């Protein structure tokens, strides 16, 4: 069972876009190439640029991903 669905992801993108607009910021969000990580075509995200990573790059990027997650978890705790 997937933890992320297209609906959840699109809600997240809308929320992120609102927060970035309130801060007058723009962000680039890099996501892996899985079906839930696609934005609805009707979704307008002027403050969030979404870029898909190329297919089959997970094995190359996993060590970097783990480091980012560890840093994030340390800050959240």
Tens-place pLDDT, residues 22-70 = 999 999 988 887 777 777 766 789 999 988 888 887 677 766 666 777 7
For residue 55, give both structure tokens: 């297919």
Residue-level pLDDT at 39: 73
Where residue 13 falls among pLDDT bands split at 50, 70, 90?
very high
By DSSP bridging, strand 48-52 and strand 27-31 are: parallel
Rounded to whole angstroms, how far apart are CA atoms 43 and 3?
21
Residue-level pLDDT at 65: 62
Residue-level pLDDT at 1: 47
Rounded to whole angstroms, how far apart are CA atoms 1 and 19?
29
Residue-level pLDDT at 25: 97
Q: What is the pTM of this model?
A: 0.68
């Amino acid at each position: 069972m997937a933890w992320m669905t297209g609906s959840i992801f699109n809600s997240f993108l809308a929320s992120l876009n609102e927060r970035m607009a309130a801060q007058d910021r723009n962000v680039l969000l890099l996501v892996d190439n899985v079906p839930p990580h696609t934005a609805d075509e009707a979704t307008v995200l002027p403050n969030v640029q979404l870029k898909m990573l190329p297919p089959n790059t997970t094995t190359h990027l996993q060590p970097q991903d783990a480091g980012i997650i560890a840093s994030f978890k340390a800050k959240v705790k």
